[in-house]
Amino acid sequence: VFLIFNTTSAIVLHPTPGHPEKTLVHALLHHCGASLQGIGGVKRPGLVHRLDIYTSGVMVFANTELCHTKLCEIFSNPDLDRRYNAIVWGQPPTEGIINKRIARSTINRKKMSISEQGKLAITKWKTLDVYAPFGTLIECKLETGRTHQIRVHLSDKGHSISGDHIYEK
């Protein structure tokens, strides 16, 4: 059994020191009640993948350990088609591929950065619409799935996501 949830932006997925309650996990615990079998001996929904806090989109949660294991296998498959739309500052070329390694920033532990010592990260993009002279709507297709990948790659290219105050250049 699994749950599919279409999130809006600014939803905190799971408890953290800064957000100990009122998270999506809390809502799912309430919603599932006794039907939730749990993951790893803990009564919790199994988060299969993540979205950044200010990203809206579809989230998948497993209700059982077996389902969690199988869904994680599916999501780790590089053939999985993951696409995201973003409005970026400026006008990048109509399409392209960014192939730059990403690692945790040595300056700010909450950020990721381009680094030769990082993990392989590949983002393909194409223009969907142009809002000259300020921005462009693009579609990003992930070939890999690194933390903040799209945000880091686009910022490095000089076309950060509109409203992204962390990676905005």
Q: Annotated active-site positions, please?
A: 52
* Residue among 148, 97, 147 nearest 123 (CA): 97
Q: In this structure, what token pair is assigned to residue 25?
A: 């996990």
Q: Are 119 and 104 in contact (CB under 8 A)?
A: no
Secondary structure of residue 38 in the 3-state scheme: coil
Compute the Cα dihedral for 92, 52, 79, 28 and give only its sign.
negative
Rounded to the nearest 10°, the torsion over CA 150, 49, 144, 70 is: -170
Q: Which residues contact 25 (CB under 8 A, 6 or more apart)?
A: 13, 14, 15, 44, 45, 47
Q: Are 149 and 123 in contact (CB under 8 A)?
A: yes
